[in-house]
Amino acid sequence: MKYISFDNFKRLLDVLKDEYSVYVPVKSGEKRFFKRYQDFTEDIVIAEARTVEPAKAFFSRAREVVAEGFKDDVPYAPQKPFAIVGVKACDLKGFKVQDFVFKDHDYQDPFYMKAREENLIISADCSCAIDTCFCLALGLEPHPTEDFDLNLSQIKGGFLVDVGSQRGEALIEKQGSLFEDEREGQSIQREEQRQRVAKAVEDNIKMSAVPRQDRYKGVVEKKFESKIWEDEAKTCVECGACNTICPTCHCFLLYDQKDEQRMARLRIWDSCMIKDFARVAGGANPRGNLWMRLRNRFEKKFDYFPKVADIYACTGCGRCISACPAKIDIRKVLKKLVNDA
Ligand code: SF4
Ligand code: SF4
């Protein structure tokens, strides 16, 4: 394993700027957001916990032009590939679901593929947990174990660096003078920190009594006709925040826009919680009631995805809990479903 000091890490970010659009998490109040890196500033927090917004936004844009006029070519905006630094394990798992939808099929989404192919992902261990984090209930450690180019574990004076891909290996080789071999005792420091963060997540899990993933199998199907859905949907205001903030949600809407110069087709994020999501021509709607849409959201995450992709489409990041103005808590719904089933 390699080690990089804080000073050399800052140099590394500066070097990466030549080749990539570099994004880092910055702290504002108690929250973290990805921001384009220009120079090192004190509000940059590589470790800590997940950002407010999901990292899926780098590859599947909230709004993008997918066709212009009647040209055959797709209108890619010219830009450098992304280097996303400080990505957490929950976002990396989110990419697995996004990849399944946009990449791992006969039809591959050209925009997603282009954004995904040249990027550099430098992930980081969480060094603390937010009170809504419950990743361990989904079998996910609060430190990345796969799907990164490099992973950083913050320790005294800098970071321990794991290599996860050939691209990561090549970067270390190219910038060799910035990296050192791991020193004695540093792995122990990392292990202690990992255990401390895992305990904080375990405490969250105990406090909310959210069941573990091995108990989710079949529960949505068993409780499909339950009153749980109506009860839970009572306070929902149909804002769609739970979907758009979620690292695994991926549904989108296509629409056309015309101005004097051009005709364009755009793609925007959509939400299955919104009434017209499933409406068809003629006005029929298979999920006309809000509680049906809430049930569909859980069905997709905890029934459909395990069946088709052998993965729960939830990472336990807790973003939907923080974002929901109606205080609908996925942990409580899962607890009710499992207990009642
Ligand atoms: S459903 Fe909620 S907790 Fe699960 S991945 Fe999506 S935002 Fe995170
Ligand atoms: S965030 Fe909450 S209020 Fe908004 S659609 Fe989702 S469940 Fe409903």
Residue 72: pLDDT over 80: no
Predicted local confidence at residue 301, as pLDDT? 98
pLDDT in tens, 12-54: 999 999 999 999 999 999 999 999 999 999 999 999 999 999 9
Mutate to test the pocket of ligand 2, among 271, 273, 291, 332 (most ligand atoms within 8 A of CB): 273
Q: Which amino acid is at 89?
A: A
pTM, 2 dp:
0.95
Plot region of 240 (φ>0 → left; ψ -120 to 50 → alpha; else → beta): left
Q: Tell me what the pLDDT averaged over the chain comes to.
A: 95
- The pLDDT-based confidence of 74 (bands split at 50, 70, 90) is confident
Domain boundaries, the chain: 2-208, 213-340
Q: What is the phi/psi pair of residue 173, to 5°?
A: -65, -45
pLDDT in tens, 246-261: 999 999 999 999 887 7
pLDDT in tens, 127-186: 999 999 999 999 999 999 999 999 999 999 999 999 999 999 999 999 999 999 999 999
Residue 83: pLDDT over 70: yes
Q: Which structure tokens are listed for 124?
A: 């980081």
Question: For ligand 1, atom 2, which residue shows the shortest CA distance?
Answer: 320
Among 15, 130, 133, smallest CA distance to 83 is for 15
Residue 277: pLDDT over 90: yes
Contacts of 312 (CB under 8 A, 6+ apart): 138, 213, 216, 301, 302, 305, 306
Q: Which structure tokens are listed for 207?
A: 């406090």
Residue 78: pLDDT over 70: no
Residue 9: pLDDT over 70: yes
Predicted local confidence at residue 160, as pLDDT? 98
How far apart CA 248 and CA 260 sit, in angstroms, is: 37
* Ligand located closest to 130 CA: 1
SS (H, E, C) the chain: CEEEEHHHHHHHHHHHHHHCEEEEEEEECCEEEEEECCCCCCCECCCCCCCCCCHHHHCCCCEEEEEECCCCCCCCCCCCCEEEEEECHHHHHHHHHHHHHHCCCCCCCHHHHHHHHCCEEEEECCCCCCCCCCHHHHCCCCCCCCCCCEEEEEECCEEEEEECCHHHHHHHHHCHHHCEECCCCHHHHHHHHHHHHHHHHHHHHHHHCCCCHHHCCCHHHHCCCCCHHHHHHCCCCCCCHHHHCCCCCCCEEEEEEECCCCEEEEEEECCCCCHHHHCCCCCCCCCCCHHHHHHHHHHHHHHHHHHHHCCCCCCCCCHHHHHCCCCCCHHHHHHHHHHHC
Predicted local confidence at residue 247, as pLDDT? 98
Question: For ligand 1, atom 6, which residue shows the shortest CA distance?
Answer: 246
Predicted local confidence at residue 139, as pLDDT? 96
Contacts of 280 (CB under 8 A, 6+ apart): none
* Ligand located closest to 327 CA: 2
Span from the CA of 138 to the centroid of ligand 1 (angstroms): 10
Predicted local confidence at residue 69, as pLDDT? 81
pLDDT in tens, 284-340: 999 999 999 999 999 999 999 999 999 999 999 999 999 999 999 999 999 999 999
Question: For ligand 1, atom 7, which residue shows the shortest CA distance?
Answer: 246
Mutate to test the pocket of ligand 1, among 314, 324, 331 (most ligand atoms within 8 A of CB): 314
Q: What is the phi/psi pair of residue 169, to 5°?
A: -60, -45
